[in-house]
Amino acid sequence: MVQEYLKINSPLAKRYRFLINVNKIMIGFQVVQEYERAVIFRLGRVLPGARGPGMFFIIPCMDSLVKKDLRTISFDVPPQEVKLFGDVTQKGP
């Protein structure tokens, strides 16, 4: 069994090489949702234009992809105290 691993053209070695190559290709696919945009950097420099929703192929170890969410985030801001003249404090609305 160990000797079969050492053979370069054995069927088992061919299967492993095939699986490794398929894995490398699948890592390159990235999906960007409808509410996101993607900025692709190739070797640290921006490729022109933000990419819209869909599937993209990036070159592993050469490209990096940054996803930016376009949804509006809302949250409640608690009222604050306001200092007026003469050390008088008043709460906001």
1 pLDDT more than 60 = no
Categorize the per-residue pLDDT at 34 as very low, low, confident or very high, splitting at 50, 70 and 90.
very high
Residue 86 lies in a domain: no
Residue 9 lies in a domain: yes
- pLDDT recorded at residue 51: 87
- pLDDT recorded at residue 92: 60
The span from the CA of 24 to the CA of 13, in Å, is: 17
The span from the CA of 60 to the CA of 45, in Å, is: 15
pLDDT in tens, 37-89: 999 999 999 999 888 899 988 888 899 999 999 999 999 988 877 777 766 66
Out of 13-17, 24-28, 39-43, the most confident range is 39-43
- pLDDT recorded at residue 26: 87
Residue 52 lies in a domain: yes
Burial string for 42-72 (b: 16+ CB within 10 Å, else e) reads: eeeeeeeeebeeeeeebeeeebeeeeeeeee
- pLDDT recorded at residue 35: 93
Residue 8 lies in a domain: yes
Residue 15 lies in a domain: yes
Range of the domain at 13: 2-71
Residue 14 lies in a domain: yes
Residue 76 lies in a domain: no
The conformation of residue 51, written as its DSSP 8-state character, comes to B
* Mean local confidence (pLDDT), 5-34: 83
Q: How many domains is the chain built from? A: 1
Between strands 36-42 and 45-46, the pairing is antiparallel
Residue 44 lies in a domain: yes
